Every structure is written in structure tokens, then in C-alpha cells.
Structure 1
Amino acid sequence: MVTVTDPSATFRRVPLPARAPRLIATDLDGTLLHDDKSVSARTVAALDAAEKAGIEVFFVTGRPARWMDVVSDHVHRHGLAICGNGAAVVDLHRGREIVEVRELSRWSAMAVVRALREVAPGVTFAVERTGGITYEPDYPPFFEDPGAVVAPIAKLLGEGGADRHRAGRGPGAEQPVLKLLAHHTELAPDFFLELARRAAGDFAEFTRSSPTALLEVSGRGVSKASTLARCCVARGIAPDEVVAFGDMPNDLEMLTWAGTSYAMANGHAQVRAATTFETLSNNEDGVAVAIEGLLTLR
């Protein structure tokens, strides 16, 4: 294992793989972004240098496409993002256009709702579609989406049959569902995740990226890793040619799929245990520090 010391910002050692990657996949919140959601000049420069060296850069996040302005202003050659934990592929060069969707069926979403209502009374839900988010009256409102529609979950999902007749169809009901969000005010986050997987894992994929008990629910087989793998196959890039960065459980599949993975120093304990290496925290530009080292391998 080769190591490199970055004298310009820290004097700590960051481990490196044996060779440079062909593609870098990085999470955003808690990873590439500082806690204030900014992207440092050092990080912008490192991403640009990677692209100039022939390394593709993918942003891989739980965020929806409409929240990608945080990095789209800094896009140079890198312009593709995998959003919604793998549910959408977005072209940042084309106005955050969604170019691929892997949706959660309404039937599966309602099956999850019913199962979680039984095992976790008090749970509330939101529905993330390609056109925006809607949520139940008791769900914590998103400050980023002040105009979101509020309605009962059956209406938000446009459930079929008699329920559809009674509830009507919610706004944007014809748009694909990217994620179902489930929030609980009392349960511990990791406990809630395991509870949900046991109760409804046959219907959907469950993960989390928030410090609160907020679960993100995707269609079966949909994850950051599976969508990234599809994109890599299309480019003739093998897993061992990918370096991935992340900090939370929704990054785990991607980090274990990639040939080389870095946990952020501020990352969840499960992530830090599962990755190849560890880099500095997000607020210390840990992704940029590692990329600078990777570029010395070319």
C-alpha cells in the first residue's frame, strides 16, 4: 500500500490503492460537501484535475435532481449524477434533466406503508416523485420545498381500486415514484432501519442517510451501487477501476461494490468498518485530499 502526505492542508497520511481509477464516485452530504453544504475551491480543483487526467467523476447521492444546484454550478467536465439513492440518473449539463428512472411501484410503496404502520405506530410518510415531493400532514416539512402538497398517503400515492375512488388522485400522481420516505419521532435510527427491513424487506429496499429516524425506501434492487454498476457497464468500466467515497449507510452497497472505497473520518461506524481506506472528514476536504493522492499514481 502506498501512502501520500498532503503538506498544503494537513500532515496526516492518506492511504492509496496500487493504481489510479478510471472513475470516481462520490456521495455529497457529509462527504464531498462541508457541513454548511458548500463545495470548497480545493474540492472543485481536485475534481477538475481528475477529469483532465481522464478519470470520470460521478456524483452519487440520495438527493433529488432539483437539489443538485449545490454542485451543478461547479460542474466542468463531470456532469452526470445518480440521484435518489439510484432511482434517477441526472445530466447536470442539461439543466438537471433526468435521463433514467428506476421507480418504486405504487403497490410496493403502499405495502411498505401498511407494514410499517403495524410495527412502528406513529410513522409518517413522504413521496418523492420526478416532479417533486409531497407528504402527510404530520411529516416534518422540508425547508427546501416550502410549496410541497400535503395530503393523506393513499392520495399521495394514487392508490388503485376503491381507495383511489375515495381518496382521489394526488398531485403528480402520474409521475414515477423515486422514493418513499418514512419518519419516526421516537425510534433510534439504526433500530428503525432494521425493523423496517424485517417487516417490509420483501417489498422494497431500505436505507438511511439522516442522523434522525428517517428511512429512504426504493424499488427492489435499486441502490446507489446497482445504478452505478449499470452506468459503469455501459462505459466498459470494471468495479476494480472505481474509487468510491461515502459516509452513511445508504453508501454501503456502493462502497463495497467499488474496487477501492474510502470512508470519511466523520462517517457512520458501519461505513468505516466496511471500506478499504479512510480519509479526512468532509470539513477537511477528505475527498479532495484522496483525489490529489490518486493523481500521483498516474
Structure 2
Amino acid sequence: MPLRLIASDLDGTLLRNDLSVSPRTRWALDAARAAGIHVVPVTARQPIGVRRIAEGAGFGGWALCSNGALGIHLGTGEVLFERHLAPEVQRSLAEAMREAVPGTVFASIRKAGEGFYAQGDYADLAAETDHKRDPATMGRYALEEVVSGPSLKFVLRHPHVSPPELLAAVRGLGLGGFHATHSGAAFVEVAAEGLTKAAGLALLCGKLGVAQADTLAFGDAPNDAEMLAWAGRGVAMGGAHPEARAAADEVTLSNEEDGVAVVVERVLAELA
């Protein structure tokens, strides 16, 4: 296949379980960049979380954050696009979920991924690894304040109900106007209707003049499925969620076994 852009999820995909980038993976990414191929992180993380690993991965260009809702240049800070979930949709969802699953708590991520507005009970449940930020920086807001502004990503969690169960409850409400998914983290992630990693990647490819057929994508979680299906070649990681595996064209080794590097090395060899 012609190859002009590599899009990769981070956690569970490009990164090892200790959140490091292996030397082999870094070499493969550098080799791709040297060949003129764009290498783009596509993640549920916000820019603050991507920048934590950017040096190790060599990321300095475009990144897609918030599951494709935010396109931002890591070097210049230029925002290519932001897609928001409307306050009225958040409010309706929060009210319905509080009735359907009492104890559900919420947070809103805004302002190019830097603004975080969490209920106090949400912050109490959170760990720094959840959103790659200290829970003390999340704020402690009343629910009405949390849903009062448009969100790049609206997140909900429960102290006792698992994310897959919570996602099933969200989908069972019969409400529209949003897209809900989960990434294997401790919460459910909600974005504007039709907004997925695939949609964000399509917007970025349009800017860069890259054809859909010339893209290679990697992922492991349900929130990667649309991107794996959209890409010219979608690769699920070994041990990936069934939704990701079903959407992919092939399966590579796990993130602990440098599965991304294995495929990138093979593709570069084919192009040589």
C-alpha cells in the first residue's frame, strides 16, 4: 500500500504498560518520519497527557486528542479544529443517568483540552493516571456548572458500576445527540454526535492532503474501532478488545511486544 500517514492510539497500543516508548518503537517511528510519513497520535488523552510522552515518541507535530474532537499542533499550539458537545445534550444525559444509575458523577473537558470541570465526587474518585493530571486541578463544581459549557469530552463514572456496564446504560437511555464510548479507562467518554477518532482523522487528512487509502492506523480499545475501520489499513493489537479486532484488517503483537514497530518495520521494508 502507498503510505503517507500513520495514526496510532497511545495507551495499550504504542506505549508499553509502564507508559514508556520502547527503543524499537521509537526507531520505527523515526524511520517512518525520515521517509516523509506523518506520524500522528490519536488518543482519548488531552494535550497535557500527550506532551508527557511526546519527547520519548518524537511527537512534535499534529495530534488528535479527546477521541478526535481536538486537532492541535504540539509544537506551535495551533488548533486546527475543536468539536464540542452542547450543554443541553450534556444536561439531558446527566439527568437521565442520575435517574437510571444513581451515584453517577460527571466531568467536562474544555478549552483545547486544558479546562477540566469536575464534580467534587468525580474528583474524589479520580487518580492522576485517569486523566494524566492531579485530581486537585480538576476543580470541585456543582453539576449545573459542569454541564453549563460546551465540552470536547464529557465523562461519567460510578464508584461501583464498571465502564462497560455504564456505557450500556447510556446507550439504553434512548437519547440522541452524542456518541458514547470507552477506552478501557475508569470512565465512559461522550462526544458530539458523529465525533469519533475516525472523524477527527478524516479532518486532519483533509488538511494534509492525505488520501484515506494511504493511512495506517493502530488501536486496541472500543474507541479505536471506527478509526481502524476507516483507515486504509487498520491494525489491532494483540489482546485488543473484540470491537477493535473486528474492525481491523489484521492483528499484530501486543504493546508489550512492540506490535506497532513490527508492522511499521514491515511496511517500510515493503516500500523500500
Give TM-score scaled by structure 2 length.
0.90
Q: Which runs of 5+ in 1 are unaligned?
A: 1-18, 159-172
Determine if contact 1:80/1:89 at 8 Å carries over to the other structure.
yes
Determine if contact 1:129/1:178 at 8 Å carries over to the other structure.
yes
1:246 aligns with 219
Determine if contact 1:51/1:77 at 8 Å carries over to the other structure.
no
Q: What percent identity do the matched residue pairs reach? A: 39
1:164 aligns with none
Q: 1:135 is matched by which residue type in structure 2?
A: A
Q: Which residues in structure 2 correspond to 1:1-298 (within 5 Å)? A: 19-74=1-56, 76=58, 79-94=61-76, 96-130=77-111, 131-139=114-122, 140-143=125-128, 144-145=133-134, 146-158=136-148, 176-199=150-173, 201-212=175-186, 214-298=187-271
Larger helix share, 1 or 2? 2
Determine if contact 2:60/2:73 at 8 Å carries over to the other structure.
no
Mark the CA change 1:45 to 1:295 in structure 2 (over 3 Å): closer, same or farther: same
Q: Aligned equivalents of 2:166 and 2:160: distance in 1?
A: 9
Q: Offset of 1:27 from its aligned partner? A: 0.2
Q: 1:154 is matched by which residue type in structure 2?
A: E
Q: Aligned equivalents of 1:222 and 1:185: distance in 2?
A: 27
Determine if contact 2:70/2:79 at 8 Å carries over to the other structure.
yes
Once superposed, what is the RMSD of the aligned Cα atoms?
Answer: 1.8
Q: 1:126 is matched by which residue type in structure 2?
A: A
Q: 1:209 is matched by which residue type in structure 2?
A: S
1:3 aligns with none
Q: Which runs of 5+ in 2 are unaligned?
A: none
1:9 aligns with none
Q: 2:95 is matched by which residue type in structure 1?
A: R
Question: Secondary structure, in 3 states, of the residue corresponding to 1:93?
Answer: coil
Q: Aligned equivalents of 2:164 and 2:18: distance in 1?
A: 25
Q: Aligned equivalents of 1:76 and 1:249: distance in 2?
A: 26
Q: Offset of 1:41 from its aligned partner? A: 1.7
- Deviation track 1:136-188 (CA, whole Å, cap 9, x = no partner) reads 12211242223221121102233xxxxxxxxxxxxxx5xx5211101023334
Q: Offset of 1:296 from its aligned partner? A: 0.9
Give TM-score scaled by structure 1 length.
0.82
Q: How many residue pairs are counted as aligned between the two chains? A: 262
Give the greater-gyration-radius structure (CA). Answer: 1
Q: 1:240 is matched by which residue type in structure 2?
A: A
- Deviation track 1:258-294 (CA, whole Å, cap 9, x = no partner) reads 1211111121122122211111111111111110011
Question: Secondary structure, in 3 states, of the residue corresponding to 1:199?
Answer: coil
Mark the CA change 1:58 to 1:236 in structure 2 (over 3 Å): closer, same or farther: same
Determine if contact 2:226/2:247 at 8 Å carries over to the other structure.
no
Determine if contact 1:20/1:295 at 8 Å carries over to the other structure.
no
Mark the CA change 1:201 to 1:250 in structure 2 (over 3 Å): closer, same or farther: farther
